[in-house]
Amino acid sequence: MPQKALIVRTGPDGHADGHEGLDELNLELERGWRVHTVSPMGGAGDAGEAPCHAAPLVLEQRGEGPTVAVEALERAESEAQSVVEEIMRDTGKVIEGNGADPPNEPHS
C-alpha cells in the first residue's frame, strides 16, 4: 500500500494557530488516507524558542482514489444536478394528465 509521512507540530501554548501541518493532515484524511502510525516526540523547536512538540505520522492509502463514501456522495450530487437541469428545461411546458397515468397512454 502506498504510504507518505507528515510532521504535525505545535507550539508551547497548544493553540490551534500554533499548529503546523494540521491542515495538510486533514486534507489527506479527506482524500482517503488513513493514519498508520504516530510517534510523538518532544523538543522539536529551534534553539532559543520555547519548547514545542511534534509528531511524525505515517499515512497509508487504502485502495485507489477516493473512498467509497466520497464516490457515493459525488454520484448523488451529479444525479441531483441532472434532476434540477431536467426540471429547469421543463419549466414553462404544459403538462397534461392527472399524474397517475403513464405518459402517452389514453386516459380512461
pLDDT value of residue 59? 92
pLDDT value of residue 58? 92
pTM over 0.75: no
SS3 of 31-88? CCEEEEEECCEECCCCCCCCCCEEEEEEEEECCCCCCHHHHHHHHHHHHHHHHHHHHH
pLDDT value of residue 92? 62
pLDDT value of residue 71? 72
Q: pLDDT of the chain along its 108 residues, tens only?
A: 788 998 888 766 655 556 788 888 888 888 888 999 988 876 655 555 666 778 889 999 876 555 666 777 778 888 888 877 777 776 666 666 676 766 665 555
pLDDT value of residue 55? 86
End-to-end CA distance of the chain: 63
> CB under 8 Å to 66, separation ≥6 — which residues?
31, 32, 74
User: Cβ distance 12 to 65 under 8 Å?
Assistant: no
CA distances from 66 to 11, 28, 33, 37 (A): 33, 11, 9, 21
Q: Residue 22: name the closest of 11, 36, 32 by CA.
A: 11
